[in-house]
Amino acid sequence: MTHTRASRLPLYCFIAFSALMWSIPAEAHLNSTGMGPFYDGLMHFIMSPEDIIPVLALALLAGLRGATYGRRALFVLPMAWLLGALAGLTSLATHAYPFIAAGWFLLLGGLVAADAKLSLRITTGLATLLGLYHGYLNGIGMGQSLSVMIVLLGLVFAIFVVVALVSAFVVQLRASWARIAIRVGGSWIAASGLLMLGWAIRTR
């Protein structure tokens, strides 16, 4: 006697289909999560070479000096940037100072190229000044929209991540050629600053 068992496939399909029909909206998109401005801030920083390159230079400088310096830059720079941006929000006038931007490139790039043995206090001061100045410029450009705090959060988050990754990468470098490569990178930043200075004088 042959016994034929009914296939359970239709039942499984029905259960799967029912489960799919019960699924709730994921709301994973930026317009439903409200995270759009966060990514605006994050991308603004990543896509702005005048912001990201001095931050990279500071992270390289801190990384060359060691973990303590890296940790200090990691927390001081984003906080100063945030404070500067908050101050900038209250300002209405927008002024671009290309000389100062070139100066940051020259100073930080030059310090990395020279592998300058700065004290922790001076490094902290540099991080504070850089954060306050660039944050202030960012804040001026943001206007008075309601989502500005989320934008700032994204921006500060991006700075934190970039400093953490870059300085941690440099701290663990032991080979002399690798540290020299970092210094060569610093010299490129300083050289770019010199050219920017020329541009600034030319277009003044």
Can you give the binding site for another protein, defined by CB under 8 A? Answer: 49-50, 53, 98, 101, 113, 180, 183-184, 187-188, 190-203
Helix, strand, coil share (%) of the chain residues, nearest 5: 75, 0, 25
| Closer CB to another protein, 174 or 202, in the complex | 202
Helix pair angle (148-171, 67-89), 10° resolution: 160
CA-wise closest residue to 112 among 53, 74, 61: 61
Which residue in the block uniquely carries the two structure tokens 């605006």?
A: 40
Output the CA angle 2-6-12, nearest 5 degrees: 155
Q: Is the Cβ of residue 22 or residue 177 nearer to another protein in the bound state?
A: 177
Cβ closest to another protein, residue 124 vs residue 138: 138
For residue 72, the minimal CB distance to another protein (Å) is: 27
- Residue 15: CB minimum distance to another protein, A: 33
- 153, containing H or E segment: helix 148-171
- Closer Cβ to another protein, 122 or 195, answer by number: 195
Q: How far is the CB of 13 from another protein (least distance, A)?
A: 28
CB of 116 to another protein, least distance (A): 14
